[in-house]
């Protein structure tokens, strides 16, 4: 745990420092003796919670070149984002200069960057994130937050933490065809042993794909023992060098394969038996996609570290590894720090997301639309170029796998459907991304899609797919195909 540097007479800052030391690991920051708490900023100044003014000789860490909270920048920013008028020019007081349009002054508010300092908003976000993850069944091991700015960065930090406790146990097991990002260690645990630039510390293990290839197989019996045998063989070969295991709850980028819970529980059990750190990468599964707030609840798991991202900031780039404090504490000052992690902008986005989920019934309402989409996608299986549909029960993520048909390959049909969906019918189209694993289209609308919108979307998708078949049979083929994959 970070040692909180408590300053005499700072009765507001000190509790924030103490809480920060408890909920965030020291590695998130490089060592800064002051542990300044920054409550507000404007221009070249910060104010502490006690109201003391500090001239900023850091600019965050060379970030706030235009000063803190510049009105002009904020107006331009909100105009560029097409936000409602005056959102950026709040005229909040006291403004250090006159705040007329075009703005030249600064307004006093939470800084947008605060490297190595502590902001109350960051501590609030950390506290609320911990309360949220721990209140869900399976979250009991999640004690601290290591912030990051992207999913892959959070994956890397999770793996570093997994390694820190015993640096001799540096080997990582990763589920084959998983996707954890493209850079560094996140890239190293992505894909399979057949990809380029493999890291010798990584060994890939099987993930049930064939057994989970279609929604119709969801309730069938599943025997995880061959997968367990593979893990046991790796343990016999590498023993105590195996220190971490990382998996997604479902294979997202690998083609939307949603496993039996018994598979993931077996994997977790293996980790427990050998004291291997179990890391669940929920970067895309988090916040409702699997039907519950977190996938560890949906699948009955209790990870040592869960990696969160994507929906965590609802569009603001923020991610986090949340996990056991003994793992994070094994990392030293600065090992997990960088310019953007834990900045107040990220924290505000996280707070807004968590509060929206807490106050509303986003997930409960989503279940109704989920059933409509699943039934619509199920019907799509009558289309001859659709091989399989897979997805999360009561969740909001599916994959439609295409097959070869009528002289065209599955990938060609996948791209044709994306193009035709975009063109749509009567000015109404559908936005779908290019295929995963070359021939799997992902369906993952916002959780707040209404039942009517869901039904409309499925009807349109069906109509477009049927038209493609008819056009093909008629020998027309007027739509250009675009090739490409992830
Ligand atoms: C499961 C999973 N982990 C990690 C990542 C990487 O996240 P980012 O693109 O934010 O680095 C992704 C991105 O798609 C993902 O789906």
Distance CA 233, CA 476 (A): 54
Residue with tokens 């021939």: 439
319 CA to centre of ligand 1 in angstroms: 10
Question: Which of 179, 188, 282, 442 is the pocket-test mutation for ligand 1 (most atoms within 8 Å of CB)?
Answer: 179
Distance CA 469, CA 417 (A): 10
474 — pLDDT class (breaks 50, 70, 90) = confident
Residue with tokens 């508010």: 109
475 — pLDDT class (breaks 50, 70, 90) = confident
86 — pLDDT class (breaks 50, 70, 90) = low
Per-residue pLDDT tens digits for 256-280? 999 999 999 999 999 999 999 999 9
Q: Residue 69: CB within 6 Å of ligand 1?
A: no
Over 60: is that where the pLDDT of 384 sits?
yes
List, in order of start, the domains of the chain with CATH numbers.
120-359 (3.40.640.10), 362-473 (3.90.1150.10)
92 — pLDDT class (breaks 50, 70, 90) = very low
283 CA to centre of ligand 1 in angstroms: 6
Residue with tokens 């506290």: 127
Residue nearest to atom 3 of ligand 1 (CA): 180
pLDDT of residue 3: 78
Q: Residue 254: CB within 6 Å of ligand 1?
A: no
97 — pLDDT class (breaks 50, 70, 90) = very low
Per-residue pLDDT tens digits for 345-377? 999 999 999 999 999 999 999 999 999 999 999
Q: Residue 126: CB within 6 Å of ligand 1?
A: no
Question: Which of 150, 151, 175 is the pocket-test mutation for ligand 1 (most atoms within 8 Å of CB)?
Answer: 151
Per-residue pLDDT tens digits for 223-269? 999 999 999 999 999 999 999 999 999 999 999 999 999 999 999 99
471 CA to centre of ligand 1 in angstroms: 37
Per-residue pLDDT tens digits for 168-210? 999 999 999 999 999 999 999 999 999 998 999 999 999 999 9
Atom of ligand 1 at shortest distance to CA of 285?
A: 1
Residue with tokens 């995963």: 436
Q: Residue 151: CB within 6 Å of ligand 1?
A: yes
152 CA to centre of ligand 1 in angstroms: 6
168 CA to centre of ligand 1 in angstroms: 27
Q: Residue 250: CB within 6 Å of ligand 1?
A: no
Per-residue pLDDT tens digits for 289-339? 999 999 999 999 999 999 999 999 999 999 999 999 999 999 999 999 999
100 — pLDDT class (breaks 50, 70, 90) = very low
310 CA to centre of ligand 1 in angstroms: 7
pLDDT of residue 93: 46
């Amino acid at each position: 745990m970070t040692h909180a540097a408590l300053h005499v007479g700072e009765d507001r800052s000190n509790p924030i420092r103490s809480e920060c030391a408890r909920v965030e690991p020291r590695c998130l920051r490089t060592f800064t003796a002051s542990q300044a708490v920054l409550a507000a900023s404007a221009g070249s100044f910060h104010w502490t919670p006690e109201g003391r003014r500090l001239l900023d000789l850091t600019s965050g860490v060379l970030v706030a070149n235009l000063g803190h909270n510049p009105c002009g920048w904020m107006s331009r920013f909100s105009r560029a984002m097409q936000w409602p008028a005056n959102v950026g020019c709040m005229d909040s007081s006291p403004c250090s200069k006159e705040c007329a349009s075009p703005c030249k002054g600064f307004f006093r508010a939470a800084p947008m960057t605060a490297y190595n300092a502590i902001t109350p908003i960051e501590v609030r976000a950390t506290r609320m994130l911990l309360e949220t993850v721990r209140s869900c069944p399976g979250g009991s091991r999640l004690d601290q937050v290591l912030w990051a700015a992207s999913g892959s960065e959070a994956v890397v930090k999770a793996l570093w933490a997994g390694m820190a406790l015993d640096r001799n146990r540096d080997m990582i097991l990763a589920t084959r065809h998983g996707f954890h990002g493209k850079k560094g260690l996140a890239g190293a645990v992505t894909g399979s042993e057949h990809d380029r630039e493999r890291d010798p510390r990584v060994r890939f293990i099987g993930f049930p794909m064939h057994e989970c290839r279609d929604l119709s197989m969801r309730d069938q019996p599943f025997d995880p023992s061959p997968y367990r045998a593979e893990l046991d063989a790796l343990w016999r070969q590498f023993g105590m060098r195996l220190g971490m295991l990382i998996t997604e709850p479902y294979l997202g980028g690998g083609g939307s394969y949603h496993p039996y819970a018994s598979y993931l529980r077996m994997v977790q059990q293996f980790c427990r038996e050998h004291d291997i750190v179990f890391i669940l990468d929920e970067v895309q599964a988090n916040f409702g996609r699997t039907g519950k707030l977190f996938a560890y609840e949906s699948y009955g798991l209790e990870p040592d570290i869960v990696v969160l991202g994507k929906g965590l900031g609802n569009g603001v780039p923020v991610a986090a590894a949340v996990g056991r404090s003994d793992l994070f504490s094994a990392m030293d000052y600065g090992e997990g720090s960088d310019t953007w992690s834990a900045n107040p902008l990220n924290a505000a986005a996280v707070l807004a997301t968590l509060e929206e989920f807490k106050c509303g019934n986003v997930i409960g309402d989503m279940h109704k639309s989920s059933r409509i989409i699943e039934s619509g996608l199920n019907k799509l299986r009558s289309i001859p170029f659709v091989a399989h549909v897979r997805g999360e029960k009561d969740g909001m993520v599916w994959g439609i796998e295409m097959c070869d048909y009528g002289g065209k390959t599955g990938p060609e049909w996948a791209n044709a459907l994306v193009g035709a969906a975009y063109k749509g019918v009567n000015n109404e189209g559908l936005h779908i991304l290019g295929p995963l694993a070359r021939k799997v289209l992902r369906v993952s609308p916002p959780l707040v899609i209404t039942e009517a919108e869901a039904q409309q979307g499925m009807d349109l998708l069906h109509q477009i797919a049927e038209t493609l078949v008819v056009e093909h049979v008629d020998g027309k083929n007027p739509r250009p195909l675009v090739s490409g994959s992830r």
